[in-house]
């Protein structure tokens, strides 16, 4: 089909509108972070950072506790993901490679857990954490994020496992390797890309989580995570929008890096995986 | 709507042969040991809190009981109190409006964007898709912060834009002091965050529709609208249903954006069901009422979820 320039014009105009609408907020965040305060406060907003400065980033990082919150967030997210990966892989293996009574029921449980109404559990979770003395503890958040990302981890890892032909393991076992050995030497290397993308998506979920971090870390402010800290930016920075945007940009950076790593999978594989369930 | 595909008949012999090839029989306790940690985690951190929430919702559980313990059972009193309060029904109505407005906007815009992507040239399409992925990658809390900056009364770029096209009433307009305005901003924010996933998924689905179908529709003289109604939409209907139900769930239980931007205010204008439950429990220390509200949330979610789960489980049955 030949597409004439004139016929394509409306759709290209629409594309530009969509592009501007999706990108502008992100652009404005980054640009504001790089602008000196006098330019931010100018009566007419400047579309370009004419006098770029790193001052706001210095302010954001210099604020009491920034690194601590950054470290808390990273610690909680990484621990949750590692836990989910190890335990999820065990379950995924049992589901994909073994036959046992209750397997179907287990898979159904995982599907239901994947759709769990976490937002409705804030209150009981607060009371349980209080009862067992885990209020204000990062370990409580880690456990919640672990269980929240576990079902997704099992479902995707099972998909990746199913893609590895069992004949490979059987051949290794015929050659005298134990079942565990066969898994470690044959399946695990083939699974590495799957483990990588699964864990990165789990990391993003935990890194972004706000509701539980907000509800369960109350008294011990030193144990807050970045999203909660960022939500109270007006207490921290007042009306210093440059520093606020710099902090937001720093918060976004790890996620953006992960999206770039997963670029192909984001638009292809994971979408297909999500649709497949 | 999620349509359930009719079960395909399959010869029993072929089926068992395929099964035994894919999943060799293993005797003993190994599979149970392997899934034990998962089951333990789900029971302790998902099932138990849900049960605990149900129990609290039939108790008198306020700040005193939180500290001392020994909450007495009061039957359905909390539910009665909720159903009898005008505020609760206001919140329910607002939650429905919130969900419908957001989901309709998300689905219409996403479909339009997906169809647009399919018609674009290669380079432009790549640019728009990159933009969508970028917006998708923005963490929720970073996005809420940015939107608060965009809609600032004095220096916000939105007010500047609206004033410079002649809408002088927006000069210094305080968006976050007005209920309807805050609601609007939250809708714009949630739609902005949700469209990338929905549009990219729908576009991915569109690319799987065979070109021959569009070709024959064109030869038969169908116009763009007819092609969409008679070819594209029927082909994408299962995917469409899946995304719609996912978006309903996500929008309905949306909490972080609302809490971070307005905490349900100003004067309750953005209090949806999950926000209401948290407010009642954390600010008013009425944990019992909060738990009862959560029960409503779970039940309403279940109504949306059951067809989705059935669909997943059928697929599972077909796979095994």
Contact status, residue B35 vs residue A157, Cβ threshold 8 Å = no
Number of neighbouring beta carbons within 10 Å of residue B101: 16
Best of B139, B202, B205, B217 to mutate (most A CBs within 10 Å, chain A): B139
Supply the pLDDT for residue B316. 63
Chain A to chain B Cβ contacts (< 8 Å): 283
Best of B22, B71, B141 to mutate (most A CBs within 10 Å, chain A): B141
Supply the pLDDT for residue B26. 53
Q: Is B214 exposed, middle or buried (0-12, 13-18, 19+ CB in 10 A)?
A: middle
SS3 content of chain B, % helix, strand, coil (to 5): 75, 0, 25
Using the beta-carbon criterion (under 8 Å), do B149 and A241 form an inter-chain contact?
yes
Q: Chain A residue closest to B283 (CA)?
A: A215
Q: Chain B residue closest to A12 (CA)?
A: B120
Condensed to tens digits (0 to 9), the pLDDT of residues B55-70 reads: 999 998 888 888 888 8
Contact status, residue B41 vs residue B19, Cβ threshold 8 Å = no
**pLDDT tops 90 at residue B198:** yes
Q: Give CA torsion, residues A274, A276, B5, B8, to 10 deg.
A: -170
CA B252, CA B237: separation in Å to the nearest integer? 22
Chain A residues 184-203 with a CB less than 8 Å from chain B: none
| The two three-digit tokens of residue A193, written as one number | 């890309």
Band of residue B45 on the pLDDT scale cut at 50, 70, 90: very high
Residues of B in contact with A112 (CB under 8 A): 309
CA A224, CA A31: separation in Å to the nearest integer? 27
**pLDDT tops 70 at residue A269:** no
Residues of A in contact with B48 (CB under 8 A): 128
Q: What is the mean pLDDT of residues B285-299?
A: 92
Q: State the average pLDDT for chain B.
A: 85
Residues in CB range of B264: below 8 A, 6 or more apart: B258, B270, B271, B272, B275, B276, B279
CA B264, CA B189: separation in Å to the nearest integer? 15
Using the beta-carbon criterion (under 8 Å), do B56 and A124 form an inter-chain contact?
yes
Supply the pLDDT for residue B72. 87
State the distance between the two ends of chain A, measured CA to CA, in whole angstroms: 36
Supply the pLDDT for residue B19. 45
Supply the pLDDT for residue A185. 84
Q: What is the mean pLDDT of residues A158-179?
A: 85
Condensed to tens digits (0 to 9), the pLDDT of residues A195-254 reads: 888 888 889 889 999 999 999 998 888 889 999 988 888 777 777 889 999 999 999 998
Percent of all residues in chain A with a pLDDT value above 70, rounded to a whole number: 93
Query: In this structure, which topology does domain A64-276 adopt according to CATH?
Result: MetI-like fold (1.10.3720)
ipTM of the predicted structure? 0.84
Q: Lowest-confidence range among B14-18, B31-35, B40-44? A: B14-18
Condensed to tens digits (0 to 9), the pLDDT of residues B295-317 reads: 998 998 888 778 777 776 776 65
Query: In this structure, which topology does domain B79-319 adopt according to CATH?
Result: MetI-like fold (1.10.3720)
Condensed to tens digits (0 to 9), the pLDDT of residues B109-166 reads: 999 999 999 888 889 999 999 999 899 889 999 999 999 999 988 888 999 999 888 8
Contact status, residue A269 vs residue A194, Cβ threshold 8 Å = no
Domain boundaries, chain A: 5-53, 64-276
CA B192, CA B185: separation in Å to the nearest integer? 10
Residues of B in contact with A226 (CB under 8 A): 141
Percent of all residues in chain B with a pLDDT value above 90, rounded to a whole number: 49
Condensed to tens digits (0 to 9), the pLDDT of residues A28-67 reads: 999 999 998 888 888 788 888 888 889 889 888 888 788 8
Number of neighbouring beta carbons within 10 Å of residue A251: 24
Closest CA to B106 of B245, B180, B238, B199: B199
Residues of A in contact with B320 (CB under 8 A): 103-104
């Amino acid at each position: 089909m030949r597409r004439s320039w004139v016929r394509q014009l409306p759709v290209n105009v629409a594309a530009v509108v969509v592009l501007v609408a999706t990108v502008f907020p992100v652009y404005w965040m980054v640009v504001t972070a790089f602008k000196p305060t006098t330019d931010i406060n100018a009566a007419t907003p400047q579309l370009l950072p004419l006098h770029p400065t790193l001052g706001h980033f210095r302010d954001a990082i210099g604020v009491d506790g920034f690194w601590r919150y950054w470290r808390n967030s990273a610690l909680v997210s990484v621990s949750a993901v590692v836990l989910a990966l190890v335990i999820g892989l065990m379950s995924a293996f049992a589901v994909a490679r073994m036959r046992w009574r209750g397997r179907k029921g287990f898979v159904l449980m995982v599907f239901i857990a994947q759709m769990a109404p976490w937002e409705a559990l804030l209150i009981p979770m607060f009371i349980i954490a209080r009862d067992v003395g885990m209020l204000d503890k990062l370990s409580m958040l880690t456990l919640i994020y672990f269980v929240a990302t576990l079902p997704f981890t099992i479902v995707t890892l099972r998909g990746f496992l199913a893609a590895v032909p069992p004949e490979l393991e059987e051949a290794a076992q015929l050659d005298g390797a134990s079942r565990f050995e066969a898994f470690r030497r044959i399946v695990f290397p083939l699974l590495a890309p799957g483990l990588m993308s699964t864990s990165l998506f789990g990391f993003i979920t935990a890194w972004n989580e706000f509701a539980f971090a907000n509800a369960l870390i109350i008294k011990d402010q030193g144990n807050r995570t970045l999203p909660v800290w960022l939500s109270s930016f007006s207490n921290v920075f007042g009306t210093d929008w440059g520093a606020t945007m710099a902090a937001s940009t720093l918060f976004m950076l790890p996620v953006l890096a992960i999206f770039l790593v997963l670029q192909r999978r984001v638009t292809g594989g994971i979408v297909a995986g999500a649709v497949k369930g | 709507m999620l349509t359930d595909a009719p079960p395909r008949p399959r010869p029993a012999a072929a089926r068992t042969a395929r099964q035994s090839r894919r999943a060799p029989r293993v005797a003993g306790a190994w599979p149970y040991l392997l899934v034990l940690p998962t089951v333990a985690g789900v029971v302790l951190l998902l099932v138990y809190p849900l049960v605990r929430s149900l129990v609290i919702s039939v108790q008198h559980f306020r700040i005193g009981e939180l500290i001392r313990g020994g909450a007495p059972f009061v039957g359905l009193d909390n539910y009665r109190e909720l159903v009898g309060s005008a505020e609760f029904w206001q919140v329910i109505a607002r939650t429905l409006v919130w969900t419908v407005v957001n989901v309709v906007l998300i689905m219409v815009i996403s479909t339009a964007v997906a169809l647009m992507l399919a018609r674009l040239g290669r380079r432009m399409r790549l640019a728009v898709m990159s933009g969508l992925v970028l917006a998708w990658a923005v963490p929720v809390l970073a996005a809420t912060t940015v939107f608060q900056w965009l809609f600032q009364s004095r220096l916000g770029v939105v007010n500047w834009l609206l004033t410079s096209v002649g809408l002088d009433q927006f000069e210094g307009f305080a968006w976050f002091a007005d209920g309807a305005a805050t609601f609007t901003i939250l809708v714009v924010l949630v739609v902005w965050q949700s469209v990338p996933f929905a549009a990219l998924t729908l576009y991915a689905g569109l690319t799987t529709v065979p070109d021959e179908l569009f070709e024959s529709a064109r030869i038969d003289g169908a116009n763009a609208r007819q092609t969409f109604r008679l070819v594209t939409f029927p082909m994408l209907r299962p995917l469409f249903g899946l995304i719609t139900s996912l978006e309903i769930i996500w929008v309905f239980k949306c909490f972080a954006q609302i809490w971070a931007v307005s905490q349900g205010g100003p004067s309750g204008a953005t209090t949806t069901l999950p926000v209401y439950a948290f407010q009642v429990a954390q600010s008013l220390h009425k944990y019992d009422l909060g738990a009862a509200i959560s029960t409503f949330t779970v039940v309403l979610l279940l109504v949306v979820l059951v067809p989705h789960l059935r669909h997943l489980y059928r697929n599972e049955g077909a796979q095994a």
